[in-house]
Structure 1
Amino acid sequence: MKTPSAFYQPLAIGAPLPFRELPISLERMIHFVPPHVEKMRAKVPDLINKVDVVLGNLEDAIPADAKTDARNGFIQLAKDNDFGSTGLWTRVNCLNSPWFLDDLLKIVPAVGDKLDVVMLPKVEGPWDVHYLDQLLAQLEAKSGLARPIMIHAILETAEGVKNVEAIAAASPRMHGMSLGPADLAASRGMKTTRVGGGHPDYAVLADPEETGNARTAYQQDLWHYTVGKMVDACLSYGLKPFYGPFGDFSDAQACESQFRNAFLMGCLGAWSLHPTQIDIAKKVFSPDPAEVAFAKKILDAMPDGTGAVMIDGKMQDDATWKQAKVIVDLAELVSSKDSELAEIYGL
């Protein structure tokens, strides 16, 4: 582990200084684009105005014989577009793949000045982050970049979840983490083929009734423990936690429910793999207007955040002031990009 005095020093001569604090940015949905498909690249200019993050996907779901085309396609879409306040990310191939090194060696020199985040799959421990950290610093120095590229880790192995705190603390480049439920399920030996969401067999039963009626089963959340552990690790180190993919595009109701669980637990956004999921993520990860209005009441009644007041029959104190500030701060961030919601929030 680096000493505190060395933690924020660049890892290569000429590389930019790491961020002391993460840039403030709205990231309700990380929208995945397969960049080897020309018609999908053509939709990016329109997407930039609809999503918070455009991510060029180079890893899972990209066929082996299309990896080079996906990499080249991502470079092209980065060059062809002005992203403004919309984030530009890429999910590179995993470290032990034959494509990872070329992903970095080709992308950073070509479009590193536009790239905000590298999403690294299947992170098992801090050593994976250290390797990418050093490599990015060398490439930034060689390319003359003025701004560091951040790292976002996907938790999709049992070892990665076990080492989640060490991963969070591994580098000042760390942006945040996402849950990767499909690969994590395989790594754990979980008996499900679903990508995210609940499972009807993961349930608790209501108490038996004397009438002998069938007992009601209440489906539980397979990912509750992991999301909670990820959120705690991220927030302990000032990082951003995200829910990952929800694979059943036909079930918008279940997708919204899973996203909302993650939002309530502290996640700031989720992946959108299909256009229908963009609006779901926007709805869920933007605070409810009624919640914002009530939170503003608390802040107005307690300007210095101390003491206790009664509002609408409910006691509010220092702790609820902090809760209210989380809601209002998020509403202000959303308002900076979404004029329609800004009007609704009164911000």
Structure 2
Amino acid sequence: MTPVWRSLQYVPAHVEKYVSSPHIAAADAVILDLEDSVPADRKTLARAGLATAIPTVASAGADVLVRINDGDMAADDIVAAVQRGVAALVIPKVRDAARLKDLDRLVSDAEAGAGMAAGSVRFVVLIETADGFLDMLAIARATRRTVAINLGNEDFALDLGMEASDETLLMPRQQLVIVAAAAGIMPLGLMGSATRFDDSDAYRALALKSRRFGYVGSSCIHPSQIAILNEAFSPTAEQIVEARRLVQAAEAAGADGRGAFPIDGRMIDGPIVARAQALIDRHQTIEARETMRAGAENSPINSIT
């Protein structure tokens, strides 16, 4: 089942006050980071801390993801991260499909060692280099574990020698949405650079723009961005009302043998109705997640803790 990840909050895995912060509890997912936010001399500490960080985050109701390191550290990160309660690994700087297949095998071994069902841990792939971008479709299709793909805006811009901006990222960001659709996985991220967190209006506008381009969620670097992402990547009440009206009208038209019909001066046909139904389905999935999460938070076990 495809998860609902409107907001994915990065948290350095070695800083306990961030891992246990109540401010991250509203995120759909929390990414425990072993990579960029962890200094080189704290990598071992962060890796060891996953044993307590993972259940701490899971108890708050968010899905738990772990971003591993690239290169030689990846194997040790996987052994530490693949444990019950982890929904996915975030894989940075994927340059080709072969690398992802190698990591798939390592995760399979780690699942077996942890007594977990094969395929329990999914992949979120980060494209952050020019060669990875050029091999993006093969990467997206390399393993069934991959559930989402994202473009690391700043690293990608650095590799290309360009500035990370709405203008420069437009084409690669559009291309990523197309690749995700072709591979049947989720496109995550924002259509421009989002390293600032002190302008909520600009951030909201960027998130809404990203949704219009086909994105379904994004990672974030500050808890103040969580609510903005959850709202931006959720259908509005007005959109749901309109979508239901279109679907009901389509059913009535179909009963009369019509595949296309007018509403408010617009001609409505199959793709428009399918888009409306997809909106309704997403709304129901989000509602189901929120109901399940509320039930978990109010359970006797969580009440005691």
Q: TM-score range by the shorter chain?
A: 0.7 to 0.9
**Distance in 2 of aligned mates of 1:118 and 1:82:** 15
Which of the pair has more CA radius of gyration? 1
Q: 1:130 aligns with which of 101, 121, 127?
A: 101
Other-structure match for 1:165: 137
**Distance in 2 of aligned mates of 1:29 and 1:67:** 25
Question: Structure 2: which 5+ runs fail to align?
Answer: 292-305
Q: Within 5 A, what are the aligned runs for 1:65-104?
A: 65-80=41-56, 82-83=58-59, 86-94=62-70, 96=71, 98-104=72-78
Q: Within 5 A, what are the aligned runs for 1:1-347?
A: 23-43=1-21, 47-48=24-25, 50-80=26-56, 82-83=58-59, 86-94=62-70, 96=71, 98-108=72-82, 112-148=83-119, 149-190=121-162, 192=163, 197-198=165-166, 221-243=167-189, 246-303=194-251, 307-338=259-290
Contact map agreement 2:50 2:80 (CA 8 A) in 1 = no
Superposed displacement of residue 84, structure 1: 7.8
Question: Structure 1: which 5+ runs fail to align?
Answer: 1-22, 199-220, 340-347
Sort the Cα spacing of 1:158 and 1:291 in 2 relative to 1 into closer, same or farther, 3 A.
Answer: same
Contact map agreement 1:26 1:52 (CA 8 A) in 2 = yes
Which whole-Å deviations, capped at 9, do the CAs of 1:276-311 have from their partners, x for residues lacking one? 110110111011222221111111111387611222
**Distance in 2 of aligned mates of 1:75 and 1:35:** 10
Sort the Cα spacing of 1:314 and 1:154 in 2 relative to 1 into closer, same or farther, 3 A.
Answer: same
Superposed displacement of residue 81, structure 1: 5.0
Other-structure match for 2:295: none
**Distance in 1 of aligned mates of 2:81 and 2:266:** 54
Contact map agreement 2:93 2:128 (CA 8 A) in 1 = yes
Superposed displacement of residue 64, structure 1: 0.9
Superposed displacement of residue 86, structure 1: 2.9
Residue type of the alignment partner of 2:139: I
Residue type of the alignment partner of 1:238: G
Residue type of the alignment partner of 2:13: P
- Please give the secondary structure, in 1, of the residue aligned with 2:251: coil
Percent of residue pairs bearing the same amino acid type: 27
Task: Decide which moves more: 327-336 or 297-306.
Answer: 297-306
Q: TM-score, normalization: structure 2?
A: 0.87
Superposed displacement of residue 61, structure 1: 2.1
Q: TM-score, normalization: structure 1?
A: 0.77
Sort the Cα spacing of 1:169 and 1:126 in 2 relative to 1 into closer, same or farther, 3 A.
Answer: same
**Distance in 2 of aligned mates of 1:82 and 1:250:** 28
